[in-house]
Chains A and B, each alone.
Chain A
Amino acid sequence: MKKSSKVIKKYIRYSVYIALLLVLINIAAAFIGIWKMQNELLNLEKTAKNLAKELSLSGVEWKMSQDGVKILDETFEWGMLLDEEGTIIWKSNSLPKELDKSYSASQVAAFSRWYLDEYPITSWEKEDNLLVLGGKQNSIWKIQMNASYFLQKYLVIWSVLILAINIFIAILIAYLLAKRSANNIEPIIEGILSLETKKELKLNTKGSLEEVAKSLNNISLALSENEAFRKNWIEGVSHDIRTPLSIVLARADAIEHTKETSEDIQLQAASIKYQSLKIKELVRNLNMESALTSNENVYELKEVNVVRLFKEETINLLNYSVSDQYHINFLLPSKAAEYVILGNKELLIRMFDNILNNAIYHNPQGCEIKISFEKNGDKILITISDNGVGMSQKEFKLLQSEKERTNRNLLGEKHGLGMHIVQQIVDIHKGRIFYENEEKGGLCVHLFL
């Protein structure tokens, strides 16, 4: 729902913007229109006023100056001056014949602000007379407005209210539309997001996005099948390889420890054993990698005392698998009981084994491995260092790229899977890991958990 409510919010925000923009445009257009029209009317009146000035009485006859005639022709069709009785005392040449008559007071009152024979009229008082100007037919729309004071009073409030209703309707429509499309899109979005987990997806394939939903379902099916196949394949292969590997290991060990075999053959048997052990670790790591990358496994984190856990594992390794040329110096911290983190025992042991194995495989001639612990607040620093050959620049780069996740295809590389898994386990525990070469030689691994 989170994702779609985001979509809805966005929709609504944009529709509000659009509604507001429309309202603004409307208001602006209305203002501009009214202003322009008003201006035009004002201009007419102004012209009428000016024309009135151009009229002058010469003797008993009224006359319009040349400029006046010019202006009149430009703006109006015709013009006439009526005296108090409604008799024409001056007229332009263009005055239509049918209008050339005298007018009663009631007629004057009727047309003065209205139409005369479909000519819109503009009038202006000239002394006691009335200058009547006929505009071009159909040029001006005159309406009579009789409004109560009530309307005038509430006009502003009404306009505001109507605007508000407009905005509200715009938002409502936007919301409903957004909600509708979100309802359609939501399962699709969630489907896409859940593709990452590689679990099989079952979207409802009805509705407007039917095709998309169908194809998502198919993709997820293919992905989950692929994932299951990969997992089973790795599990199967690693399971099946173990029995023959046991036989190889045991046979090589038997050859190595048979007194009659020559030293050369013993060495070769030892080499077979050593390489078989490497395959064993590889298989374990491959399995672990598969388990870690499949999202089905959610690792439960419980309180673990890492000192105790690694101590037991060190003892286990010393008792059963690490040969005598490796000396492990376990520096037990004081207050060991306090070294508790939230972790997964199985994963932590795997991580610890892999770090130790890394030291062991890099130093086949043997070395001393030192394990120490420090506590700072609730952070624990575990340092595992050896006095062996250390790491080459190239290997450093590999580990670094492992940390930065820039290179995921490390399977064939020397540090490859083992340290890759270490990194993944460190990540699961939200810890950090650093590597450095010791000055005296050897590798030092700092582990913050």
Chain B
Amino acid sequence: MSQIYEYKILLVDDEKEIVEIEENILRKEGFSKVYKAHTCEEAWKVMQSVKADVAILDVMLPDGDGYLLFQKIKWIADIPILFLTAKDQDYEKLIGLGMGADDYITKPFMPQELVLRIKSILRRTYTTNSKESEWKPIFNLSNCEVNLNTGIVYNEDKQDVLTAKEYEILETLYANRGRIVSSDLICEKVWHDNPYGYENTLMVTIRRLRTKIEKDPSSPKSLITVKGLGYKLLVDEDKRE
């Protein structure tokens, strides 16, 4: 599935207006397959008839709590689930203590945050986890086109093959495109290890990667350094998703 907006989203909240707002936000963003439910029972029915690709659950539902629904959904389909909670103290319960929720948002939320988190969760689940899926994204940067299926960068006048580490860095950044990814996170993903000690190696690899994807590697337009924090990949979204 190449189009992120094609994914089916299930919204569950007993507050009808919240569901409606979520739906509006997501539809405005371009998601077209949005399903709504207000109780566990309804949600369960929707899950059985339309297999959703991602779900946003309220923790408190009139006919049971969201945790139980979460377990049931995870049992029949391994889809990412994002919790919408009205409590601050839910972090430990949802993510920290291994409930296994993929992310959570505390109410009240900014519409933009909902969109960003949903997109991020979808990309994380369905594009980087690409060992299983056959298809890998092809995308445009300011100066080139990157094909993650072949690991080749197409410039106007040349082609470069990405090394394994460069490929993984680019893949990680692409999954979180438009947002800052901490250098620690990249190191962890790429070297599967304690992030300390790889900073220099990362810098060197990024510099090499830039010679392949940037027109002028000393003033990058696509792979931006966010000083002290990490890196950010800017993708020309309009051309291809």
Answer whether A320 and B113 are a contact pair too, CB < 8 Å, given A288-B88, A331-B228. Answer: yes
Residues in chain A near residue B230, CB distance under 8 A: 315
Q: Does B50 make an interface contact (CB < 8 A)? A: no
Answer whether A247 and B229 are a contact pair too, CB < 8 Å, given A242-B107, A253-B111. Answer: no
Taking a contact as CB atoms under 8 Å apart, the answer to whether A329 and B227 are in contact is yes
Q: Does A148 make an interface contact (CB < 8 A)? A: no
Answer whether A321 and B24 are a contact pair too, CB < 8 Å, given A311-B228, A315-B230. Answer: no
Chain A nearest CB, measured from B117 CB (Å): 7
The CB with the most chain A CB atoms within 10 A, among B18, B110, B117, B181, is that of B110
Interface residues of B in 1-33 (CB under 8 A from A): 15, 17-18, 21, 24-25
Interface residues of A in 222-240 (CB under 8 A from B): 235, 239-240
The CB with the most chain B CB atoms within 10 A, among A239, A242, A314, A329, is that of A242
Nearest-CB residue, chain A, relative to B60: A239
Answer whether A246 and B109 are a contact pair too, CB < 8 Å, given A239-B87, A336-B196. Answer: yes
Residues in chain A near residue B179, CB distance under 8 A: 315, 319
Alpha-carbon separation in the docked complex, A280 to B108 (Å):
7
Chain A nearest CB, measured from B103 CB (Å): 11
Taking a contact as CB atoms under 8 Å apart, the answer to whether B18 and A246 are in contact is yes
Chain A nearest CB, measured from B113 CB (Å): 5
- Determine the main DSSP class of B at the interface with A: mixed
Chain A nearest CB, measured from B190 CB (Å): 17
Chain B nearest CB, measured from A288 CB (Å): 7
Cβ contacts B83-126/A at 8 Å (1 or 0 each): 00011110110000000000000111111110011000000000
Taking a contact as CB atoms under 8 Å apart, the answer to whether B87 and A330 are in contact is no
Taking a contact as CB atoms under 8 Å apart, the answer to whether B108 and A254 are in contact is no
Taking a contact as CB atoms under 8 Å apart, the answer to whether A320 and B117 are in contact is yes
- Determine the main DSSP class of A at the interface with B: helix
Chain B nearest CB, measured from A372 CB (Å): 9
Q: Does B168 make an interface contact (CB < 8 A)? A: no
The CB with the most chain B CB atoms within 10 A, among A276, A308, A312, A319, is that of A319
Residues in chain A near residue B110, CB distance under 8 A: 249, 253, 277, 320-321
The CB with the most chain A CB atoms within 10 A, among B15, B92, B230, is that of B230
Residues in chain B near residue A320, CB distance under 8 A: 110, 112-113, 116-117
Chain B nearest CB, measured from A333 CB (Å): 9
Chain B residues at the A interface, C-beta cutoff of 8 Å: 15, 17-18, 21, 24-25, 86-89, 91-92, 106-113, 116-117, 179-182, 184, 196, 226-230
A-B contacts, 9 listed (Cβ < 8 Å): A240-B86, A243-B86, A246-B107, A254-B111, A287-B89, A312-B182, A315-B182, A318-B180, A320-B110
18 further A-B contacts with Cβ under 8 Å, apart from A239-B87, A242-B107, A332-B229, are: A239-B86, A240-B86, A243-B86, A247-B21, A249-B108, A249-B110, A253-B111, A253-B112, A277-B110, A311-B228, A315-B226, A315-B230, A319-B116, A319-B180, A329-B228, A330-B228, A332-B227, A346-B92
